Structure 1
Amino acid sequence: MSAATDAFLAMLAAERGAARNTLAAYARDLAQAEEAIGDLAVAERDAVAGLAGKWAALAPASVARKASALRQFFGFAIDEGWRQDDPSAALPAPRARRPLPKVLGHDQIAALFTRAEAEAAGGEPKAVRLLALIELLYGSGLRATELVSLPLSAVPRDAPFLTVTGKGGASRMVPVGARALEALGRWLALRPQVPPSRYLFPSAKGGHFSRVRLFQLIKALAARAGIDPAIISPHVLRHAFATHLLEGGADLRVLQTLLGHADIATTQIYTHVDSARLVALVNSRHPLATRTTSD
Structure 2
Amino acid sequence: MNVDPRWFTEPATPFSEWQRTDAVGGDRRPFAQRSIIQHEAMFERFHRHLVAHRATVATFGEADLESFFNDIGNRCAAGTTTRLRYAKLVDRLCRHLIELGVRTSNPAAAYLRREAWPEDEPVPLFLDPASDIRLQAHVQEPTADTQALRDMAIVALLLGAGVTAAEIRVAHPSHLVVDDIRPHVWVPARGARAERKVTLPGFTLPVLAAWGEHCDAEPADHLFPSSRGGAMSDWTLIEVVRVALTEIGFEAPDMSPRVLRNTFARRLLLDGRSNHDVSVLLGLSSQRTVVRLRGTINAPFIG
TM range (shorter): 0.5 to 0.7
- Whether the aligned pair in 1 keeps the contact of 2:126 and 2:259 (CA below 8 Å) is yes
Partner of 2:169: 148
Aligned partners of 1:32 and 1:275: how far apart in 2?
51
The structural deviation recorded for 1:251 is 0.8
Aligned partners of 1:178 and 1:64: how far apart in 2?
36
The structural deviation recorded for 1:145 is 1.4
Summarize deviations over 1:227-278 as a string: whole Å, max 9, x none.
227542211000111122112221111111111123333433223323559x
Aligned partners of 2:201 and 2:83: how far apart in 1?
44
The alignment's C-alpha RMSD in Å is: 4.1
The structural deviation recorded for 1:123 is 3.4
Aligned partners of 1:178 and 1:262: how far apart in 2?
24
Summarize deviations over 1:12-42 as a string: whole Å, max 9, x none.
5565334645532488799699746xxxxxx
Pair 71,4 (structure 1): closer, same or farther in 2 beyond 3 Å = farther
Give TM-score scaled by structure 2 length. 0.64
Aligned partners of 1:235 and 1:32: how far apart in 2?
34
Aligned partners of 1:200 and 1:63: how far apart in 2?
30
Secondary structure of 2:260 counterpart: helix
Summarize deviations over 1:122-169 as a string: whole Å, max 9, x none.
333223222221221111100011112111121225743322135417
Aligned partners of 1:240 and 1:271: how far apart in 2?
11
Secondary structure of 1:174 counterpart: strand
Aligned partners of 1:269 and 1:28: how far apart in 2?
31
Aligned partners of 2:162 and 2:11: how far apart in 1?
32
Partner of 2:220: 197
**Residue 245 (str. 1) matches residue 248 (str. 2):** no
Taking only the aligned residue pairs, the percentage that are identical comes to 22
Aligned partners of 1:255 and 1:103: how far apart in 2?
15
Partner of 2:149: 128
Summarize deviations over 1:31-88 as a string: whole Å, max 9, x none.
699746xxxxxxxxxxxxxxxxxxxxx998477425531565489679x988xxxxxx
Partner of 1:182: 206
Pair 272,206 (structure 1): closer, same or farther in 2 beyond 3 Å = same
Secondary structure of 1:100 counterpart: coil
**Structure 1: which 5+ runs fail to align?**
37-57, 83-89, 278-295
- Whether the aligned pair in 1 keeps the contact of 2:159 and 2:261 (CA below 8 Å) is yes
Partner of 1:95: 117
Aligned partners of 1:150 and 1:274: how far apart in 2?
31
Aligned partners of 2:259 and 2:279: how far apart in 1?
17
- Whether the aligned pair in 2 keeps the contact of 1:64 and 1:96 (CA below 8 Å) is no
**What is the letter of the counterpart of residue 94 of structure 1?**
A
- Whether the aligned pair in 2 keeps the contact of 1:102 and 1:239 (CA below 8 Å) is yes
**Equivalence map 1:263-278=2 (5 Å):** 263-275=286-298
Pair 28,130 (structure 1): closer, same or farther in 2 beyond 3 Å = closer
Summarize deviations over 1:100-134 as a string: whole Å, max 9, x none.
211110111222233332x43x3332232222212
Secondary structure of 1:162 counterpart: strand
Report the count of equivalent residues.
248
Aligned partners of 2:247 and 2:229: how far apart in 1?
29
Larger Rg: 1
Secondary structure of 1:163 counterpart: strand
**Residue 10 (str. 1) matches residue 21 (str. 2):** no
**What is the letter of the counterpart of residue 150 of structure 1?**
A
**What is the letter of the counterpart of residue 207 of structure 2?**
A
Pair 22,241 (structure 1): closer, same or farther in 2 beyond 3 Å = farther
Pair 198,105 (structure 1): closer, same or farther in 2 beyond 3 Å = same
**Structure 2 residue aligned with 1:261, among 261, 278, 284?**
284
The structural deviation recorded for 1:219 is 1.3
Partner of 1:285: none
**Structure 2: which 5+ runs fail to align?**
21-35, 51-55, 63-72, 102-109
- Whether the aligned pair in 2 keeps the contact of 1:8 and 1:73 (CA below 8 Å) is no
